Amino acid sequence: MTTFIAFVVVFGTIVFFHELGHFAVAKLAGIKVYEFSLGFGPAAAVWKPGETQYSIRAFPLGGFVKLAGMDEEPEGEDTIASDDPRSFSNKPLRWRMGTIAAGPAMNFLLAAILFAIYFMMVVVPPTIGMVEQNSPAHESGLMPGDEFVAMDGEPVDSIDQVIDRIDQRAGEEMVLTVRRAGEIIEVTATPAVVNGEGRLGIDIMEKPQLPFLQSVGAGIVQTGVITRELITAIQQMISGAIEPEVAGPIGIVQIVGETARMGVANLLLLAAILNVNLGLLNLLPIPILDGGWLVFLGIEGVRGRPLDPKYRGVAGMIGLALLFMLMIFATFQDIMRLDWFS
């Protein structure tokens, strides 16, 4: 149940922000929005305070915003004519491109926000600031900058915990697990007994969470770093430099569930990375994705007139087939990664 709730919250938030981007810019452009929906399948809840219908559907695996003049018009009295100025197809090119691009843009924005929240709430582990010469710590090989991870196999995450463990093991050998330059290292040390207390001969510091403005800056930078890394990975997979490694719904549910059990901070990181993934995926130049629409609109800008709907329809069928094959491949990899195949 925890896995399902975590998946619905994480994936639902990602989809909501993506569709909110399309919705907000469409409204700003004066485009009529028929429906804003989270999920697919039968409607579980529907309300219509104005011209737009809002719905939550049975299967929380996506969502959509239905715009007038973009796809087939729905039947009903609210349907507008093809020459209506509120139709997507009748808006200036810049507004149409902005409406399409706003979905992925919101995912990158949400990723930066989640990274910023993470940096504001996470405390850096107790870190060695200074090591006294000829002390037990010096003899064991501990160095300034080492971050305490565990002591005698038990995790530590505060200065008080480190001091208490050292006191408890005064005069006795103990195993210290530290992180040094990203690498986990284990050393043994015997705290000296000084005035009845244990001493390793170190000065410990604990860095607080980043302040708001620094967290925002760090969130933006981290979003850029993850984006570049994912683009590089996609290029390498396409070129064959590395093996294709993708996750489908089964894999994502499993990853979200495992991460949720590791705590809220780790779930925030995963949600941020998934937002970047979804943003990039939707920008791929595949028809029926946002990137495909941007390609069509870019061609229209160059030609001075839109593509024939017949060609767009053929391209859409090809794009749908490509996505279907990608989903089959991702699901196959998900199944092969399950424990009963190991």
**Does residue 54 sit within a domain?**
no
For the stretch 305-315, pLDDT in tens is 888 878 878 88
Torsion 262-263-264-266 (CA) sign: negative
Asked if 133 and 188 sit in the same domain, the reply is yes
Q: Is residue 168 included in any domain, yes or no? A: yes
Number of separate domains in the chain: 2
pLDDT at 244: 67
pTM of the predicted model as reported, rounded to 2 decimal places: 0.72
Structural domain boundaries enclosing 293: 2-30+91-121+214-341
In this structure, the answer to whether residues 220 and 322 fall within a common structural domain is yes
Q: Average the pLDDT over each of 34-48, 67-81, 139-153, 210-224 and give the range with the smallest value.
A: 67-81
Q: What is the pLDDT of residue 250?
A: 65
* The last residue of a domain, from among 205, 237, 270: 205
Amino acid at 173: E
Distance, CA of 274 to CA of 133 (rounded, Å): 47
Whole-angstrom Cα distance, residue 69 to residue 144? 63
pLDDT of residue 342: 41
- Residues 26 and 65: beta-carbon distance below 8 Å: yes
CA angle 100, 113, 33 (to 5 degrees): 30
Instruction: Tell me, yes or no, whether 51 lies in a domain.
Output: no
Number of Cβ within 10 Å of residue 136's Cβ equals: 22
pLDDT 10s digits, 75-109: 666 788 888 999 999 999 999 999 999 999 999 99
CA–CA separation, 25 vs 13, rounded Å? 18
Same domain, 145 and 264: no
Task: Give the model's pLDDT for residue 340.
Answer: 44
Residue 269 in domain:
yes
Q: For the beta carbon of residue 159, count every other beta carbon within 10 angstroms.
A: 15
Active site residue 35: no
Please indicate, yes or no, whether residues 297 and 330 belong to a single structural domain of this protein. Answer: yes
Name residues whose C-beta falls within 8 Å of residue 95's C-beta, 6 or more positions apart in sequence. 25, 29, 31
Specify whether 15 is located in the same domain as 142: no
Which residue blocks in the chain are alpha helix, DSSP H?
A: 2-29, 93-121, 136-140, 159-168, 212-239, 249-260, 264-283, 290-303, 309-337
The pLDDT of residue 246 is above 80: no
pLDDT at 148 > cutoff 50: yes
Mean pLDDT score of the chain, rounded to an integer? Answer: 84
More confident residue, 27 or 251: 27
Of 205, 228, 256, the residue that ends a domain is: 205
**Stretch 251-255: mean pLDDT:** 68
- 99 belongs to a structural domain: yes
Within a domain: 279:
yes
Checking if the pLDDT of 74 tops 60, the result is yes
CATH code of residue 160: 2.30.42.10
Question: In this predicted structure, what is the pLDDT of residue 341?
Answer: 41
- Domain edge (last residue) among 205, 224, 258: 205
More confident of the two residues 104 and 3: 104
Is 200 in the same domain as 249? no
Is residue 168 over pLDDT 70? yes
Same domain, 194 and 230: no
Do residues 137 and 117 both lie within one domain? Answer: no
pLDDT (0 to 100) of residue 47: 93
Looking at the structure, do residues 19 and 137 belong to the same domain, yes or no? Answer: no
Q: Residue 296 falls within a domain, yes or no?
A: yes
